[in-house]
Structure 1
């Protein structure tokens, strides 16, 4: 779904800059999930499962192309 946009962006930015930007986005997203879980008292295992689910959904949507 998003793979063509991701590939175009990667080609425009270059792989090094793109990977740095993608790493920062993943880091921020993981922090949001962590804060959400801490606020609701969700344990570490459930939080890790949410992060894995986010990663897997990103792959299916083509965000990790």
Structure 2
């Protein structure tokens, strides 16, 4: 049995745009623009992932 796909919304922080994160099979994934260049972020997270405690690139 594979993990379910979960979605998390990352609020806008400082001068960043809000982000939609996708969690599937232990990989937390998002795409965004960084100085108008497409950037992809992939992080390996555990089964007990809690978005309230997740910090990404200095933002939470």
Q: Is the TM value for this pair above 0.5?
A: no
Q: Which has the higher strand share?
A: 2
Task: Give TM-score scaled by structure 2 length.
Answer: 0.28
* Structure of higher RCO (CA pairs closer than 8 Å, 6+ residues apart): 1
Q: Which has the higher helix share?
A: 1
Larger Rg, first or second structure (1 or 2) = 1
